[in-house]
């Protein structure tokens, strides 16, 4: 097994650029990423049950992603013909259109670039990877699921909103945070800031764990 297969971008890295054939035509990733967040995700194979539920989940919530300035792009090691036939099949059967590009990664180029092949799970099918990439092209969040467990769309959207909230307000988000709940104010970096904090109206367990409403 080539060493490259084991490599994967890490949080904070620049998302590796690539050109690919997709169901929406040829695509250059960095062009696609320009000015918006991107969620790049892989599924093991077309015409398989869990994958069909997941892709339908992304498609039915595509308006929410759009409202969050986020583009979707799927991937599997299948041909364009298989992708198009699957898109057509699901639309006919359920009325759901996979309305985002799906990469036909037959040569495994993108799968290897993003460490989506985990050889002890499968040497030929990508695991269920999710890369959330910001508009500057940085990888901000990574999820990996095995072949037999579907992802949670609420969690994908929650983490996307958490990243955007953190960037906008310079705050951190606690366990199980959802929009509308209090956020964590970063700990003080100086004694003056600590004393200032004691006079604040933050909800505080102690000076290092303070929460506020946005």
User: Which residue ranges make up the site for ligand BEZ (CB under 6 A)?
Assistant: 44-45, 48-51, 125, 147-148
Residue among 16 and 57 whose Cβ is closer to ligand BEZ: 57
Residue among 26 and 49 whose Cβ is closer to ligand BEZ: 49
Q: Residue 121: exposed, middle, or buried by beta-carbon count in 10 A (0-12, 13-18, 19+)?
A: middle
User: Catalytic annotation on 51?
Assistant: yes
Using DSSP, how many helices (H) and how many strands (E) does the chain show? 7, 10
Q: Which of 55, 65, 53 is nearest to 132 (CA)?
A: 65
Report whether 104 contacts 22 (CB < 8 A): yes
Query: Dihedral angle at the C-alpha atoms of 111, 113, 118, 124, nearest 10 degrees?
Result: 40
User: Taking the complex as a whole, how short is the minimal distance between the CB of residue 149 and ligand BEZ, in angstroms?
Assistant: 9
User: Taking the complex as a whole, how short is the minimal distance between the CB of residue 123 and ligand BEZ, in angstroms?
Assistant: 13
Catalytic position from the list 15, 38, 39, 51: 51
Residue among 137 and 150 whose Cβ is closer to ligand BEZ: 150
Report whether 88 contacts 82 (CB < 8 A): no
User: Taking the complex as a whole, how short is the minimal distance between the CB of residue 150 and ligand BEZ, in angstroms?
Assistant: 8
Residue among 148 and 190 whose Cβ is closer to ligand BEZ: 148
Report whether 202 contacts 212 (CB < 8 A): yes
Lateral strand order in the sheet of 209-212? 183-185, 209-212, 203-206
User: Taking the complex as a whole, how short is the minimal distance between the CB of residue 192 and ligand BEZ, in angstroms?
Assistant: 55
Q: Which residues are catalytic?
A: 51
């Amino acid at each position: 097994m080539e060493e490259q297969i084991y490599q994967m971008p890490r949080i904070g890295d620049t998302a590796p650029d690539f050109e690919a054939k997709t169901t929406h035509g040829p695509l250059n990733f960095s062009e696609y990423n320009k000015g918006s967040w991107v969620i790049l995700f892989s599924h093991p194979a077309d015409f398989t049950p869990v994958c069909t539920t997941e892709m339908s989940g992304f498609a039915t919530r595509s308006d929410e992603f759009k409202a969050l300035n986020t583009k979707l792009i799927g991937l599997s090691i299948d041909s364009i013909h298989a992708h198009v036939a699957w898109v057509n099949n699901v639309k006919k059967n359920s009325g759901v259109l996979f309305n985002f590009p799906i990469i036909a990664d037959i040569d495994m180029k993108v799968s290897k670039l993003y460490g989506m092949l985990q050889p002890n799970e499968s040497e030929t099918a990508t695991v269920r990877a999710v890369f959330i990439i910001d508009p500057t092209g940085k990888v901000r969040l990574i999820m990996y699921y095995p072949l037999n467990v579907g992802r949670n769309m609420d969690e994908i959207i929650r983490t996307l909103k958490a990243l955007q909230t953190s960037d906008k307000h310079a705050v951190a988000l606690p366990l199980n945070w959802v929009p509308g709940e209090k956020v964590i104010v970063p700990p003080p970096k100086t004694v003056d800031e600590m004393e200032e904090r004691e006079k604040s109206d933050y909800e505080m367990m102690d000076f290092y764990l303070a929460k506020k409403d946005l």
